[in-house]
Amino acid sequence: MVAFSLTIAGALGIVLTGGYLWWEMGRYTTPQVVESRFDERRMIFAYTLGLFVGILLSLPWLLYLAAMTNAALLGAFALLAVLVVSIELAEWATRRTHYWGRGPSFPFYAIGLRAGIGGILVLALAGQYLSASTITWDGTFVVGLQAVAIVALEVTGALLSLPETAAGSPRRGAGVVSGALISGIGLFLLGFNAFGGELVGGVAAAIVLMGSIYLYRRTRVILDHIPPPSLVGSPAPVAPGGRYGRKDRGPPSR
């Protein structure tokens, strides 16, 4: 029964995160664009790294949920701080590497990393619920809503925690502190299901999901202004001239 529950929970995490990367990040790869905005192999490796990091972080995540169930708020806040700081450190350390962080495409790899972490957090959450003695339709719906909210929160946090973006982008990341604060608030609200019941947990998960979608739509413009890797370091394109080799200068002065 436990193995079956983990299989279903793992499939849920992979489908949500993999589906997001395929659908959303696919907008920035060929043939949707002339040239891919990032190295797809590095994206896969970043996602895989996120899965391994998520395995390590699943322990404080489950302990946090247990502390919320027992209303041990002091311990819950301590575990939540460990979880949030560890996630931010993972993104910071990845950005410092030569493999992922040397070019302007890092925001894509940060999303892949955080998506992998979110997938394992979903696995832990859903696996814990499916292993319980009582499973209801209401509880299943709330856990599913929480799973979607976790993925949305993580990929949004990847962009919010960016200190800077590609040149010319009209929007920048909010920084590590702001990104950690948003992630901490979101994960705290997602623990309300264990603390206040299914109704409270469902409302809290809906708030996290809607807030994450709103912030993601505002910060996604960062990705739109990242140049393809082949154009990094190339000179700025010269403005094309008018017909017959002359530049358009507008109407002649009188």
Residue with more model confidence, 245 or 64: 64
**What's the pLDDT tens digit per position in 39-92?**
999 999 999 999 999 999 999 999 999 999 888 899 999 999 999 999 999 999
Q: Which two tokens stand for residue 221?
A: 């413009």
For residue 249, pLDDT over 70 is answered with no
Domain range list for the chain = 8-228
Closest of 191, 101, 114, 97 to residue 152, by C-alpha: 114
**What's the pLDDT tens digit per position in 131-140?**
887 888 989 9
For residue 238, pLDDT over 50 is answered with no
- Calculate the average pLDDT of the chain: 86
* pLDDT for res 252: 46
For residue 172, pLDDT over 70 is answered with no
For residue 169, pLDDT over 90 is answered with no
* pLDDT for res 235: 44
* % of the chain with per-residue pLDDT over 70: 85
Predicted TM-score (pTM) of this structure:
0.86
**What's the pLDDT tens digit per position in 87-127?**
999 999 999 999 998 888 999 999 999 999 999 999 999 99
Over residues 206-235, the mean pLDDT reads 85
- For 98, counting Cβ atoms within 10 Å of its Cβ (0-12 exposed, 13-18 middle, 19+ buried), the class is exposed
For residue 61, the tally of other CB atoms under 10 A from its CB is: 25
Q: Which two tokens stand for residue 201?
A: 């947990």
Closest of 96, 88, 44 to residue 182, by C-alpha: 88
ω into residue 31 within 30 of 0, thus cis? yes
* pLDDT for res 217: 93
DSSP state string for 140-199: HHHHHHHHHHHHHHHHHHHHHT-S--STT-S-----HHHHHHHHHHHHHHHTHHHHH-HH
**What's the pLDDT tens digit per position in 193-203?**
877 778 899 99
Residue 254's pLDDT band, with cuts at 50, 70 and 90, is: very low
For residue 188, pLDDT over 70 is answered with yes
For residue 251, pLDDT over 50 is answered with no
**3-state DSSP call for residue 121?**
helix
